Amino acid sequence: MTPVKVALDRVLRECSATLGPEEVLLKQAVGRYLYEDVFSVKAMPSCRTSVMDGYAVVAGQLPGELEVTERIFAGHKWSKKLVAGTCAYVATGGPIPLGAGAVVKVEDSQASSSSSKRGGAKGKEFVLLKHKPQEAQEGSFVRAIGSDIKLGQKLLKKG
One digit per residue, the tens of pLDDT, for the chain of length 159 reads 889 998 888 888 877 666 788 899 989 989 988 999 999 999 999 999 999 999 999 999 989 999 999 999 999 988 889 999 999 999 999 999 999 999 999 999 998 866 545 544 567 899 999 988 888 999 999 999 999 999 999 999 998
- Rounded to a whole number, what is the largest CA-CA distance in the chain? 106
Q: Report the chain's terminal Cα–Cα distance, integer Å.
A: 39
Indicate the helix (H) or strand (E) that contains 50: strand 49-50
**114's torsion region: left (phi>0), alpha (psi -120 to 50) or beta?**
alpha
Give the per-residue pLDDT at 142.
97
pLDDT of res. 8? 85
One-letter amino acid for residue 130 of the chain: K
- In contact, 87 and 56? CB cutoff 8 Å: yes
| Predicted TM-score (pTM) of this structure | 0.76
Residues counted in the chain: 159
